[in-house]
Amino acid sequence: MHVWAVANQKGGVGKTTTSVSLGGLLADQGHQVLLLDLDPHGSLTSYFKYDPDDLSASAYDLFLARQLPADLPESLLLETSHDRIQLLPASTALATLERQVSGQGGMGLVISRALALLWNKFDYVLIDSPPVLGLLMINALAAAEHLIIPVQTEFLAIKGLERMMRTLTMVRKARHNELPYTIVPTLYDRRTQASVQSLRLLRTSYADHMWPAMVPVDTRFREASMAGVPVSMLDPVCRGVQAYSMLLKHLLDTSQQLRARGHDG
């Protein structure tokens, strides 16, 4: 099982879209995929037509259990519009987590432990993280073997990326192994100077960790989210799907190279 976290401390940069799109493509290739929603807003959960305000069980339960029951993670899984994708949903109760568990030690590895109990069930896990640094993001980063950082191609988003880089430095110190990451430019509109110039700036500042292409603005993403399906199910050849297919290939190649060099988490 491979675990990828999708995170950025900036909101609205395409984290949820990236999680669903990559998850959809992996599932299209025949892999069993888990999409794990760790955002208290529950966008990923809502994407698949579940109501994060009205779920009796969710990722929240994983944090409440003092000793994680072995069958709990599996009992939380929900079906989605794609046969090979299951969802471990978020509920809005996750927003209270920080307060609920403050002072309790060992809370940073709750998700790692929960995923260990699902090891044989899935080929890939994608964790959609909230846009704030806190216990949930720390759990996502601790569980991941690779981090995907979507960045909107505009200047404010690049500022947000600097903050994410500081978080990553901190997390890497706490982990006993590296956390490789890939920066993914999103919502690229080649007709705007902001997109063109900020992409150029990203490439000069973060050369080694950049995915060399970008995800364009494509209205198919919104249509797919309204339909509750990964974008590749709605339109397998649109520009957005082509971009995420290239990204997936890049991530799979990069992971393989890292594993060959013995960096695998």
Ligand X SMILES: Nc1ncnc2c1ncn2[C@@H]1O[C@H](COP(=O)(O)OP(=O)(O)OP(=O)(O)O)[C@@H](O)[C@H]1O
The residues of the shown chain that bind Mg ion, judged by CB under 5 A, are 15-16, 43
For residues 42 and 216, which CB has a smaller minimum distance to Mg ion in the complex? 42
Binder of residue 240, out of ligand X, Mg ion, none (CB less than 5 to 8 A by kind): ligand X
For residues 211 and 221, which CB has a smaller minimum distance to ligand X in the complex? 221
Assess contact for 4 and 122: CB atoms under 8 A: no
β-strand partners of 164: none
Binding mask 111-150 for ligand X (x = CB under 6 A): --------------------x-------------------
For residue 150, what is the enclosing H or E element? strand 146-152
Q: Count Cα atoms within 13 angstroms, Cβ side, for 33.
A: 25
For residues 39 and 265, which CB has a smaller minimum distance to Mg ion in the complex? 39
Compute how many residues bind ligand X; rule: CB under 6 A. Answer: 20
Residue 42 as a binder of ligand X (CB under 6 A): the answer is no
Which residue in the set 14, 42, 230, 265 belongs to the binding site for ligand X (CB under 6 A)? 14
- Residue 185, phi then psi, degrees to nearest 5: -65, 130
Which residue in the set 28, 37, 39, 145 belongs to the binding site for ligand X (CB under 6 A)? 39
Residues 6+ apart with CB under 8 A from 238: 218, 220, 231
Residue 198 as a binder of ligand X (CB under 6 A): the answer is no
- Alpha-carbon distance of 214 to 243, in angstroms, equals 7
- Alpha-carbon distance of 69 to 128, in angstroms, equals 23
Residues 6+ apart with CB under 8 A from 176: none
Binding mask 151-190 for ligand X (x = CB under 6 A): -----------------------------------xx---
Assess contact for 39 and 180: CB atoms under 8 A: no
- Judged by the rule CB under 6 A, the positions of this chain that interact with ligand X are 11-17, 39, 41, 43, 131, 186-187, 215, 217-218, 221-222, 225, 240
